[in-house]
Amino acid sequence: MIQFSNVTKDYENQTALRDISFVIEKGEMAFITGPSGSGKTTLLKLIYSAEKPDRGNISVAGWDLDQLKASSIPYLRRNIGVVFQDFRLLGNRNVFDNVAMALRIRGMGEREIRTKVFETLKSVNLRHKSDSYPKGLSGGEQQRVVIARAMVADPTVLLADEPTGNLDPDTAESVMRTFKDINARGTTMLIATHNRELYRNTGRKVIRLEGGTLVGVGPG
Ligand SMILES: Nc1ncnc2c1ncn2[C@@H]1O[C@H](COP(=O)(O)OP(=O)(O)O)[C@@H](O)[C@H]1O
Ligand SMILES: [Mg+2]
């Protein structure tokens, strides 16, 4: 589902990723870990084509990103849900509208949008908060709205960048349970985190980065 072959990414004055190769299979839930500055966010950006590699090949959901024209990037991104480090919910829109946004930009009809949004909010246990505004929600609830927004359009791949970074341990655990449920329904997941509690003893694939180099791939 995601394949990196000898990928190198340089920014102006430094190498962010060096000769990285790995594979994530369809339906897998995998993690990227490493200290701050090790290249986790850059790796995710390469997957949704927000950055281009300087060397090597990347394929995502059957797309060879090398061959991808700029005009096709929106089509790639329809297959990828992204949960960013900072929440980026619209403060002047309620929960329903924040999630519905992802479907409205795709031109879906309002009736179908209502069904889909309520179904998705239910799956993250926020059906009862659909009329609330972000500032009336806890950090964990806000993060679950962000997750709902990322998954409402049924992406093939869900990427998350430090999804529990600002959350207390109990809330982080509930977010991880949500991710497991999403994965159990078939979505391929890649989660960047420096919190080893998220993957310890899970047996899931962990890609370890240090200073832009892959130092190991193995079960957590
Ligand atoms: N847009 C950018 N321009 C220049 N350097 C960058 C940019 N983004 C990240 N970097 C550098 O690339 C390295 C990897 O960063 P990043 O991928 O954000 O790591 P992580 O997410 O693991 O903290 C860091 O040294 C960072 O300073
Ligand atoms: Mg980062």
Say yes or no: CB of residue 163 within 6 Å of ligand 1: no
Q: Tally the domains of the chain.
A: 2
Say yes or no: CB of residue 38 within 6 Å of ligand 1: yes
Residues 48, 118: one domain? Answer: no
Q: Which of these three, 112, 135, 154, is where a domain ends?
A: 154
CB neighbours (10 Å) of residue 5?
15
pTM: 0.93
CB 159 within 8 A of CB 47: yes
**85 is a domain residue:** no
**Cα–Cα separations (whole angstroms), residue 79 to 48, 76, 106, 112, 183:** 9, 6, 12, 19, 15
157 alpha carbon – ligand 1 mean position (Å): 23
**205 is a domain residue:** yes
Q: Please tell me which of 6-10, 87-91, 146-150, 216-220 the model is most confident about, judged by mean pLDDT.
A: 6-10
Closest CA to 79 of 159, 198, 179, 171: 159
Residues 199, 142: one domain? Answer: no
Residues 75, 94: one domain? Answer: no
DSSP character at residue 135: G
pLDDT 10s digits, 65-108 = 999 999 999 889 989 999 987 668 999 999 999 999 989 988 99
- 3-class secondary structure per residue, 38-81: CCHHHHHHHHCCCCCCCEEEEEECCEEHHHCCHHHHHHHHHCEE
Residues 25, 75: one domain? Answer: yes
Residue 209 has pLDDT above 90, yes or no: yes
CB 124 within 8 A of CB 148: yes
Residues 61, 95: one domain? Answer: no
**84 is a domain residue:** no
Residues 4, 16: one domain? Answer: yes
Residues 99, 166: one domain? Answer: no
Q: Residue 186: which CATH number?
A: 3.40.50.300
pLDDT 10s digits, 152-177 = 998 999 999 999 887 888 888 888 98
36 alpha carbon – ligand 1 mean position (Å): 9
113 alpha carbon – ligand 2 mean position (Å): 32
Q: Which atom of ligand 1 is nearest to the CA of 192?
A: 21
Q: Which single residue is written with the structure tokens 């999403």?
A: 182
Considering only CA atoms, which residue is closest to atom 3 of ligand 1?
11
Closest CA to 214 of 53, 8, 14: 8
Considering only CA atoms, which residue is closest to atom 18 of ligand 1?
41
Residues 98, 147: one domain? Answer: yes
Residues 111, 197: one domain? Answer: no
Amino acid symbol at 156: T
